[in-house]
Amino acid sequence: MKTFQLSLSENGPQFNIVEQSQPALGAHDVLIDVQAWSLNYRDLAMLGGGYPGNDKIVKDPPLVPLSDCAGVVCAVGSDVTRVVVGDRVSPIFYQDWFDGNLTATNVGSTLGGGVDGVMSEFFSCSEESVVKLPDYLSFEEAATLPCAGVTAWEALSLGDIKPDQTVLLIGTGGVSIFALQLVVAQGAKAIVISSSDEKLAVATSMGASHTINYQATPDWHIEVLGLTKGVGVDHVIEVGGAGTYEKSCIATKLSGRVSLIGVLTGYPEQNPSPYLVMAKRLTLQGIAVGSRERFESLLQVMDEGHIHPVIDRHFGFDQLPMAMQYLSSAQHVGKVVLTK
């Protein structure tokens, strides 16, 4: 089977396709014939050495990249009971996080970061570390869910999303577009900010209540306050990091929630003042994707609403470097997918 390996050298990151034999299965393992993969911003971070705790690329190279895929179970170990050959499945992002809280036991099991990922023609894992996919989703669509989809749903679920809420979404990448679909599906309002009027037009067509171009309106947080009659939003899906975090807190209502998710503009250090968080009685909620249980609840909500993930562009398996380059150019809306 063909497998991608990523290593870092003095000349920069290097991708190699290697030929490997299919993994031997343990009694509780399943083998997945992978049909599609998707990219996340996090996969770009691996090219620079990864994140703390997500740095196999540095500690034990090479790394099989990517966390997200979908495929068909093509073989099972002797004691497998959760799935059968022929089931359509996706591996979960944290291979050992099934339900409850993230703990020291399951935190290191992140595909394509803490451990080898899924960018291979076949992928094997424990039967516990997959979810079954609803029939209405194509493999390409399902492959977009394990990281970005689950993250958006984890944040909105912890924020107890309700129809009377207004949620602020930063940009139009994978996490934010999933959040937009899920907010709209719950009957709540979404305000979207983006660098591009064309992308904002897509967000409006998907049901965004208001949009703001943050290039044209650098004080977008003030405009958000204006749009909410000076009150602020209930919840921010904060994927921006250093450059947006303080503005997001200012744009949030008293006793509101900011889900801290991303670092697109770098890691926040000092701002906002802890006093602002205290004075506004904000809940800052750290998000780390989500458990298998959250993934299953996302699939249920998507199935009920017949929600199809937004795929911006397809690439072939061998075109991973080109697909990564496209993702880094940030031209996309939603997700970038690779197919077999």
Closer residue to ligand NAP (CB): 34 or 263: 263
Could you say which residues in the range 187-246 bind ligand NAP, by CB under 6 A? 194-196, 199, 214, 239-240, 243-244
Residue 69 in the binding site for ligand NAP (CB under 6 A)? no
Residue 120 in the binding site for ligand NAP (CB under 6 A)? no
Residue 74 in the binding site for ligand NAP (CB under 6 A)? no
- Tell me how far, at minimum, the Cβ of 70 lies from ligand NAP, in Å: 17
Closer residue to ligand NAP (CB): 88 or 199: 199
Residue 40 in the binding site for ligand NAP (CB under 6 A)? yes
Report the alpha-carbon distance of residue 213 to residue 221 in Å, rounded: 11
Residue 149 in the binding site for ligand NAP (CB under 6 A)? no
Closer residue to ligand NAP (CB): 71 or 290: 290
Q: Pick one of 113, 149, 173, 256: the residue that binds ligand NAP (CB under 6 A).
A: 173
* Omega of the bond leading into 272 within 30 degrees of 0 (cis): yes
Q: At residue 294, what are phi and psi to the nearest 5 degrees?
A: -65, -40
- Tell me how far, at minimum, the Cβ of 194 lies from ligand NAP, in Å: 3
Select from 86, 71, 73 the least CA-distant residue to 25: 73
Report the alpha-carbon distance of residue 186 to residue 334 in Å, rounded: 19
Report the alpha-carbon distance of residue 38 to residue 25 in Å, rounded: 25
Q: Which residue's C-beta sits nearest to ligand NAP?
A: 173
Q: Pick one of 80, 92, 133, 287: the residue that binds ligand NAP (CB under 6 A).
A: 287
Could you say which residues in the range 255-284 bind ligand NAP, by CB under 6 A? 261-265
Report the alpha-carbon distance of residue 62 to residue 57 in Å, rounded: 6
Select from 133, 109, 207 the least CA-distant residue to 163: 207
Please work out the total of residues on this chain that contact ligand NAP, with binding judged by CB under 6 A. 31
Length in residues, the chain? 340
Q: Which residues bind ligand NAP (CB under 6 A)?
A: 40-42, 147-148, 151, 170-175, 194-196, 199, 214, 239-240, 243-244, 261-265, 287-289, 327, 330
